[in-house]
Structure 1
């Protein structure tokens, strides 16, 4: 179902972005607006422009982050500077954000950027937020990230799912890459979504969708496969990390690709263990070859890669 056909209340607007930036969800109240997630830093000019257009002169009162991955929080600092808005984050990431620990916040392990921002309050799981004239329950959504939350409007049957469920898949299960039980948490999150039976899902990436049951079935099947083939999950994670960096840079040398792989290995020991005995350079070449076969990159004669022509 196309975006403009998905039934949403007039107080809610989805700014669908590409895969470098998460979607932004705007919720309008009488005194101003709230934005859920803010995209990646290199696309911040577009983020500011799109949000200002949607605000149409209304004040932006607050930012709510579902989690602090760089593609969901990279616009926080710029929006704070422009609108002097408050920022609410999940409690599981508050200590790392307060000390700006870029390892625990995932920015160094993923070779990604996020300008430092302040936070003003916490969005605790099972608490209720009143946004856009509706009550939204904060729900735990571990799996992709230990601290991630979703927002659920029971009256409207709308779920803001972040990276727990997309129409086709879900985000990398990053806890597994450091040796934590992320697959089990992701299974519990998918079961929680199934119990809710949402009418509409607004994902962190991609258009809102109403075909929720098929998306859940596909996600559950994919999760079962990844649990049984952890090396495939490792391959998926590396392809995502390299693809993300390429979308940011548009062109990467062979050594830059190897740098992304080495950084991931250095700070994500369970991922490195999946490739025990293999050099990062060889793994990087395999990642590039896989991406090239799918048309996700263009190979250069010098061994580097370019983003596909748009």
Structure 2
């Protein structure tokens, strides 16, 4: 007989170089990637604002007496940059953001930065420099290529290191999908850009993907197949992307505030332009309260929230 077990063990977590450490967070915060070498300690993405103290604590514990030198943001959705301000207050670290987002951060235009559009929050932070596709960074003892990743967010970036064959994909590729294609909610192109990003990833020699959410994974080919299939399904009927966006933004808000009345849910829809844009693709405005209750019911069936007579709440233990 061969040495292959008839009942093979579960897939082992992929191995990363010792200089790369991933803090896998809950869905309210993005994962944080700590890269440390002799000259610099850097953190890629910083989580959501309400988890900022925990982000600082995680970094402090990992670095011991050493300071954090650099913050890098793959993109500026609130779950990826919400810890920036707290980290900057703790350490005099440089902060690198996507070049395409620089003017919005400089003016602190919360509408352009998507915080108001999604009903989310982020403490104001500054930046010292920018990154654009084609740039190179030395982090964790490796050279990283900066790769554009529009689709989920027009300004988003990925980081790829050829020597350890590691891709920090942010929300461009997860093990089972990718982030909401936000440009399509406003009638702008996003599906084509997402496909181009998946094509670009397929051309890379990747052993491990560190996604923006979920555990690092090694079977990149299978993840790409799932992503291509999902993208085809979404682009065949853009209302599917809109419905997914409404569900994702509702659950995100609920993870933050824990409980919402239906009146508060309706108010959120009225205030958040990205949610309104999604709702317009699904129903006339007069039907939005019914739409949100219908979606809440679907989310309750999947276990994403608990639905009561007067509102919704996050399931116990979900963060």
Matched, 1:283 2:291: yes
Query: Given the superposition, is the C-alpha separation of residues 275 and 215 from structure 1 closer, same or farther in structure 2, using an over 3 Å criterion?
Result: same
How many Å apart are 1:283 and its aligned residue? Answer: 1.9
Q: Is the 8 A contact 2:243 2:282 kept in 1?
A: no
Superposed counterparts of 1:46-195, under 5 Å: 46-195=54-203
What is the alpha-carbon distance in structure 1 between the residues aligned to residue 166 and residue 39 of structure 2? 23
Q: Which residue does 1:273 correspond to in 2?
A: 280
How many Å apart are 1:269 and its aligned residue? Answer: 6.7
What is the alpha-carbon distance in structure 2 between the residues aligned to residue 4 and residue 116 of structure 1? 40
Instruction: Find the partner of 1:307 among 296, 314, 319.
Output: 314
What is the alpha-carbon distance in structure 2 between the residues aligned to residue 143 and residue 125 of structure 1? 14
Q: RMSD value over aligned CA atoms?
A: 1.6
How many Å apart are 1:51 and its aligned residue? Answer: 0.9
What is the alpha-carbon distance in structure 1 between the residues aligned to residue 74 and residue 135 of structure 2? 14
Q: Is the 8 A contact 2:162 2:205 kept in 1?
A: no
Matched, 1:234 2:214: no
Deviations 1:232-288 (A, max 9, x none): 111100000000000001111111111222234x45675243135243212211221
| Range 284-293 or range 235-244, more displaced | 284-293
What is the alpha-carbon distance in structure 1 between the residues aligned to residue 275 and residue 13 of structure 2? 41
- The count of aligned residue pairs is 308
Instruction: Find the partner of 1:20 among 17, 28, 31.
Output: 28
Deviations 1:143-176 (A, max 9, x none): 0000000000011110000000000110000111
What stretches of structure 2 of length at least 5 have no aligned partner? Answer: 1-8
Specify the SS of the correspondent of 1:60: coil
Specify the SS of the correspondent of 2:214: coil
Matched, 1:38 2:46: yes
Kindly name which structure, 1 or 2, has the bigger radius of gyration based on alpha carbons.
2
Q: TM-score, normalised by structure 1?
A: 0.96
Query: Given the superposition, is the C-alpha separation of residues 3 and 48 from structure 1 closer, same or farther in structure 2, using an over 3 Å criterion?
Result: farther
Specify the SS of the correspondent of 1:89: strand
Q: Is the 8 A contact 1:177 1:269 kept in 2?
A: no
What is the alpha-carbon distance in structure 1 between the residues aligned to residue 192 and residue 263 of structure 2? 35
Specify the SS of the correspondent of 1:34: strand
Q: TM-score, normalised by structure 2?
A: 0.93
Q: Is the 8 A contact 1:151 1:161 kept in 2?
A: yes
Matched, 1:11 2:19: yes
Specify the SS of the correspondent of 2:69: strand
Q: Is the 8 A contact 1:144 1:174 kept in 2?
A: yes
What is the alpha-carbon distance in structure 2 between the residues aligned to residue 120 and residue 290 of structure 1? 44
